[in-house]
C-alpha cells in the first residue's frame, strides 16, 4: 500500500549518515578545531588587527566600563566590520535581537549605497556607517509588547550590544553579518530579553563589588555572572514530522499511543550515538565552532531520540546569546540531515521531556569563582557568604524564579517525576548542610578562621561531585562550584530565568551589604565574626528553602507546604502569584524591569500561554476530526464486512461484534470529546479577563485535550496499521 506514511517509512529506512564539506588536512583527516574556531566571528582578536591602536583601546575601555561608544569609534568599527564581512562573502547586515516571541529576529539590509555624481552617474559601493551599526529601526508594531504599545507608540529600535561580537550567518547562497542588539521602544522601554539580562548583570556587578569591599576584597573591580547551558533536544525524521500536524504546528505530539518499547531498558542514556545523529552533531559543532561557540559535550539522553549538548561556560550575556544561536543553528543543520530538531519541553508523552540546565556562578575580574571554595580561610568564608546570598535569593524570590521558568510547554514537564518539581528548593549536599547547621548554631562566629579549616570547606568541590544522583530531583542544586538551575525548559530563552536569578542575587547582596555595614559599625575590627554572625542569620532565615531529599515524593509536597514554600503548579498560578507586589518588587528595585515593563511581561506571559494552549486544542480537535475519526470509520467498515462474511458462511462472529462495539464506543467518545473541547474552548474565550481565561485553559481545556487523546490512542490500537495515517511513537522514536 502506498500511503504517505508507508512512503515515509521507506524514506527513513533508506537514509544514510550525511557528510559535509569539513576542512581537511592534506592527508584527508579533519582539520583541528583550533584552525577554524571563531572564523565567523568578528572578535577582539580581529578587531585588534584591523583597528588603529587608540580606537581599539578606546573600544576595550568602553566594554570594560560599559560606557557609551564615541561616534568616531563606532564609525571605525563599522567600516572594519563591513570590510571583514564583505571579504568573507557577506552581502547584508542585520541587527540580531531577541523579542518576546522566544525566537530571534532579524531584518536584513544590503551593504550597498548609491553614490550619484553631479552628472547623474550612479555607482554602487559597499557601506556600513557608524550610525547603521549603532542602531536601526524595525517596525515594532508586530512584536509582542504586552500592551506598552497602546501606552506609547509603535516605534522601537535595535541598538548594538558591543559586549557580544558580531558574527556571520551562512545561508545556501550567501552570508549575513549579524549585529547582536538590544531591542527597546522609542521611550527606552525594553521590548526584548537581552535588555533586562544586561541590567541584571549590572545590578549584580554593582552589589557584589560593594559586598566584597565590606568582606575585605577591596581590589575586586567587577563581578560577572557566568553561564554554561546543558541543552537537551529531540530529533525526529523529517518525513515523519511532515505527516504530524501536531508536530508541525505545536512542536509536540498531541496524540499517539505509547510504544511498547520506550525508555524502560535504560539503554539510550550515554549509549552509542546513532550514525545519522552523530553526523548531524559533527556538522552542528563545526558550524558552532566557526561561530565561536565552545560546545564541548554531546551525548544521548534518557529518552529515545533525545540528546544533549553543553558548552564550556562563558560570561552570562554571551552564554545566553550563544545558547539562542546554538538552538537556531541546530534547527537548521538538522534539516540538512533530514531531521527536525525539537526543542520543545515535552514532544512525546510518557517519556522524559527536555530541560535546559543553566549552570550559573559569579566570578571576579581576577578570575576567581565566588562559588568555589578557595585555599585560604578568608576565601572560604567568602565562599560561604556567597552561598548564603544564593540561598537567600532563592528563598526570598522563589515566586519570581518559578514564574521565570513557567510556560505552557514547561508545565507539561515540571513536577512530572522526570523533572524538578514546581516547588523551588535548593540542594547543597551533606557536607555543606552540616557546615550551614553549625554556622546556624553559632560555631562559626567563635573563631571563623578555625571553623572553615576544621569543616574542610576547601575540599567541597571534589566532594560535591558525588552528590549528582540525589540532586537530580532538585530544581536548584549546588554542584561543587556553581549552582545548576534545572527547572529551566529546553525551548526557553534562558535570559529570563537568568535575569531573575541574577536580579534576586543582586537584591540579596544589597540587603546583606546593608546589614553587614551596620554590624561592622557597631563592632569595628571584628570583620570575620560579624560576617559569621550575618551568615548565621541569613542561613537561618533561608533554611526553609534547603531540601536534600527526593523532590519527586509526595512527602516533599506536604513538607514544603508546612514550611510555607509556594507550590505553583502551573503557569496561571505562577503568573497570578507574581502579580502580588511583594513577589516582584525586587525586580523593579534592582532595575531589571521598570514597573511598566514588568506589567507588560505579565501580559506577554498570559498572552503566550493563551495562544499556545488554544493552538494545541484547535489542532487536536482538527486531527481527531480529519484523521483519527476517518481512520476509525474505515476500520469499522472493514471489521463490519469481515463480520458479515463470517456470519454469512454460518459462523457466529462474536469476536467481531465486540470489535465493532469497541470501535463504536471509541468513536463516540472521540466525537463527544472533540465537541466538548471545542465548546469549552469557545466558552473560555468568551471571557474578557485574561487571567481567568488562562486559568480555565489549564484547569478545563488541557484535561479535555487529555481525554480526547486517551480516546484517540485507544482507537490507534484498534485500527489496521496500514490505515493509520499518523507516524506512530514506535516509528518516530527508534530511527536508526
Footprint of Mg ion (CB under 5 A): 230
Instruction: Kindly indicate which of the ranges 175-183, 415-423, 436-444, 479-487 contains the residues binding ligand ADP, using the contact rule CB under 6 A.
Output: 479-487
Under DSSP, is residue 472 helix (H, G, I), strand (E, B) or coil? coil
Bridge partners of 116?
A: 122
Q: Which does 310 bind (CB under 5 to 8 A by kind): ligand ADP, Mg ion, none?
A: ligand ADP
Residues in the chain: 736
Q: Which does 481 bind (CB under 5 to 8 A by kind): ligand ADP, Mg ion, none?
A: ligand ADP
Helix (H) or strand (E) holding 471: helix 468-471
Relative orientation angle of helices 702-716 and 595-623, to the nearest 10 degrees? 30
**If binding means CB under 6 A, how many residues of this protein chain bind ligand ADP?**
15
- List the one residue from 479, 493, 513, 635 that touches ligand ADP (CB under 6 A): 479
- Cβ–Cβ under 8 Å, residues 316 and 197: yes
* 205 binds ligand ADP, rule: CB under 6 A: no
Please name which of 429, 423, 439, 436 lies closest in space to residue 479, comparing C-alpha atoms.
Answer: 429
* 311 binds ligand ADP, rule: CB under 6 A: yes
Kindly list the distances between the CA atom of residue 81 and the CA atoms of 63, 127, 303, 448, in Å, as whole numbers in the listed order. Answer: 17, 10, 44, 53
Nearer to ligand ADP, 359 or 635 (CB): 359
* 467 binds ligand ADP, rule: CB under 6 A: no
Q: How far apart are alpha carbons 279 and 481 in whole angstroms?
A: 33
Nearer to ligand ADP, 195 or 369 (CB): 369
- Which residues touch 456 (CB under 8 Å, ≥6 apart)? 431
Instruction: Kindly indicate which of the ranges 474-482, 594-602, 619-627, 698-706 contains the residues binding ligand ADP, using the contact rule CB under 6 A.
Output: 474-482
Beta strands in 65-104 (DSSP E): 90-97
Nearer to ligand ADP, 313 or 729 (CB): 313
User: Using CB under 6 A, which residues numbered 597 to 656 contact ligand ADP?
Assistant: none
Nearer to Mg ion, 230 or 396 (CB): 230
Nearer to Mg ion, 358 or 504 (CB): 358
Q: How far is the CB of 361 from ligand ADP (least distance, A)?
A: 4
Q: How far is the CB of 357 from Mg ion (least distance, A)?
A: 6
- List the one residue from 481, 567, 579, 585 that touches ligand ADP (CB under 6 A): 481
Nearer to ligand ADP, 362 or 578 (CB): 362
509-518 in b/e form (b: 16+ CB < 10 A) is bbbbbeebee
Nearer to Mg ion, 490 or 583 (CB): 490
User: Using CB under 6 A, which residues numbered 347 to 386 contact ligand ADP?
Assistant: 359-361, 369
* 226 binds ligand ADP, rule: CB under 6 A: yes
- Which residues touch 469 (CB under 8 Å, ≥6 apart)? none
- Cβ–Cβ under 8 Å, residues 345 and 490: yes
Nearer to ligand ADP, 129 or 468 (CB): 468
* 317 binds ligand ADP, rule: CB under 6 A: no
Q: How far is the CB of 57 from ligand ADP (least distance, A)?
A: 29
Question: With left for phi above 0 and alpha for psi between -120 and 50, is residue 147 left, alpha or beta?
Answer: left
Point out the residue whose Cβ comes nearest to Mg ion: 230
In this structure, the dihedral spanned by the alpha carbons of residues 277, 279, 280 and 286, taken in order and rounded to 10 degrees, is 140
Q: How far apart are alpha carbons 153 and 142 in whole angstroms?
A: 12
The residues that touch ligand ADP, with contacts defined as CB under 6 A, are 226-228, 230, 310-313, 359-361, 369, 479, 481-482
Amino acid at each position: 500500500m502506498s500511503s504517505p506514511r508507508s512512503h515515509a517509512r521507506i524514506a527513513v529506512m533508506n537514509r544514510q549518515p550525511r557528510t559535509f564539506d569539513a576542512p581537511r588536512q592534506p592527508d584527508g583527516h579533519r582539520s583541528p578545531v583550533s584552525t577554524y574556531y571563531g572564523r565567523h566571528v568578528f572578535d577582539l582578536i580581529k578587531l585588534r588587527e584591523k583597528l588603529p591602536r587608540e580606537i581599539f583601546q578606546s573600544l576595550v575601555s568602553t566594554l570594560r566600563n560599559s560606557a557609551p561608544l564615541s561616534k568616531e569609534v563606532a564609525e571605525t568599527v563599522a567600516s572594519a566590520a563591513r570590510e571583514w564581512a564583505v571579504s568573507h562573502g557577506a552581502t547584508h547586515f542585520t541587527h540580531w535581537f531577541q523579542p518576546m516571541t522566544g525566537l530571534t529576529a532579524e531584518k536584513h539590509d544590503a551593504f550597498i549605497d548609491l553614490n550619484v555624481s553631479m552628472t547623474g552617474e550612479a555607482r554602487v559601493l559597499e557601506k556600513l556607517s557608524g550610525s547603521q551599526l549603532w542602531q536601526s529601526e524595525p517596525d515594532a508594531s508586530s512584536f509582542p509588547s504586552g500592551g506598552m504599545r497602546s501606552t506609547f507608540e509603535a516605534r522601537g529600535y535595535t541598538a548594538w550590544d558591543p559586549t557580544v561580537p558580531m558574527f556571520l550567518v551562512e545561508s545556501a547562497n550567501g552570508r549575513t553579518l549579524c549585529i547582536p542588539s538590544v531591542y527597546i521602544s522609542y521611550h527606552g522601554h525594553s521590548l526584548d530579553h537581552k535588555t533586562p539580562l544586561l541590567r541584571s548583570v549590572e545590578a549584580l556587578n554593582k552589589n557584589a563589588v560593594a559586598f566584597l569591599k565590606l568582606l575585605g576584597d577591596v581590589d575586586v573591580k567587577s563581578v560577572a555572572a557566568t553561564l554554561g547551558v546543558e541543552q537537551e533536544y529531540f530529533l525526529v525524521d523529517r518525513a515523519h514530522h511532515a505527516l504530524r500536524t501536531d508536530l508541525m504546528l505545536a512542536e509536540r505530539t498531541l496524540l499517539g499511543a505509547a510504544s511498547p518499547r520506550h525508555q524502560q531498558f535504560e539503554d539510550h542514556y550515554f549509549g552509542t550515538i546513532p550514525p545519522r545523529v552523530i553526523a548531524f552533531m559533527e556538522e552542528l559543532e563545526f558550524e558552532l565552532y566557526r561561530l565561536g561557540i565552545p560546545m564541548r559535550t554531546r551525548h544521548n539522553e534518557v529518552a529515545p531520540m533525545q540528546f544533549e549538548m553543553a558548552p564550556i561556560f562563558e560570561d552570562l550575556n554571551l552564554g545566553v546569546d550563544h545558547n539562542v544561536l546554538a538552538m537556531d543553528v541546530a534547527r537548521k543543520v538538522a534539516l540538512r540531515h533530514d531531521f527536525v530538531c525539537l526543542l520543545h519541553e515535552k514532544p512525546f508523552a510518557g517519556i522524559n521531556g527536555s530541560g535546559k540546565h543553566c549552570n550559573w556562578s559569579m566570578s571576579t575580574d581576577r578570575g576567581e569563582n565566588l562559588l568555589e571554595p578557595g585555599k585560604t580561610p578568608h576565601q572560604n568564608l567568602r565562599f560561604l557568604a556567597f552561598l548564603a546570598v544564593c540561598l537567600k535569593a532563592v528563598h526570598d524570590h522563589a515566586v519570581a524564579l518559578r514564574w521565570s521558568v513557567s510556560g505552557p510547554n514547561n508545565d507539561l514537564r515540571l513536577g512530572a517525576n522526570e523533572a524538578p518539581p514546581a516547588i523551588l528548593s535548593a540542594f547543597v549536599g551533606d557536607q555543606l548542610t552540616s557546615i550551614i547547621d553549625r554556622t546556624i548554631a553559632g560555631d562559626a562566629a567563635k573563631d571563623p578562621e578555625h571553623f572553615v579549616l576544621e569543616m574542610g570547606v576547601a575540599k567541597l568541590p571534589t566532594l560535591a561531585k558525588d552528590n549528582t544522583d540525589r540532586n537530580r530531583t532538585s530544581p536548584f542544586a549546588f554542584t561543587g562550584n556553581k549552582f545548576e538551575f534545572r527547572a529551566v525548559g529546553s525551548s526557553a530563552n534562558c535570559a529570563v530565568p537568568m535575569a531573575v536569578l541574577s536580579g534576586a542575587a543582586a537584591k540579596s547582596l544589597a540587603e546583606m551589604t546593608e546589614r553587614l555595614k551596620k554590624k561592622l559599625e557597631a563592632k569595628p575590627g571584628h570583620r570575620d565574626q560579624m560576617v559569621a554572625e550575618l551568615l548565621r542569620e541569613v542561613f537561618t532565615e533561608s533554611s526553609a528553602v534547603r531540601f536534600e531529599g527526593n523532590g519527586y515524593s509526595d512527602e516533599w509536597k506536604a513538607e514544603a507546604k508546612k514550611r510555607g514554600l509556594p507550590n505553583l503548579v502551573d503557569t496561571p498560578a505562577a503568573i497570578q502569584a507574581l502579580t502580588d507586589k511583594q513577589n516582584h518588587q525586587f525586580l523593579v528595585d534592582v532595575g531589571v524591569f521598570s514597573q511598566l515593563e514588568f506589567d507588560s511581561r505579565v501580559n506577554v506571559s498570559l498572552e503566550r500561554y493563551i495562544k499556545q494552549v488554544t493552538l494545541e486544542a484547535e489542532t487536536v480537535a482538527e486531527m481527531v476530526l480529519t484523521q483519527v475519526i476517518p481512520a476509525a470509520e474505515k476500520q469499522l467498515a472493514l471489521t463490519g464486512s469481515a463480520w458479515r462474511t463470517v456470519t454469512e458462511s454460518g459462523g457466529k462472529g462474536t469476536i467481531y461484534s465486540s470489535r465493532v462495539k469497541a470501535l463504536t464506543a471509541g468513536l463516540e467518545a472521540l466525537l463527544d470529546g472533540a465537541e466538548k473541547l471545542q465548546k469549552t474552548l469557545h466558552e473560555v474565550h468568551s471571557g474578557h479577563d485574561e487571567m481567568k481565561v488562562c486559568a480555565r485553559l489549564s484547569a478545563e481545556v488541557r484535561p479535555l485535550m487529555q481525554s480526547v487523546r486517551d480516546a484517540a490512542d485507544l482507537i490507534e490500537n484498534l485500527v489496521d496499521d496500514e490505515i493509520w495515517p499518523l507516524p506512530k511513537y514506535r516509528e518516530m522514536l527508534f530511527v536508526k
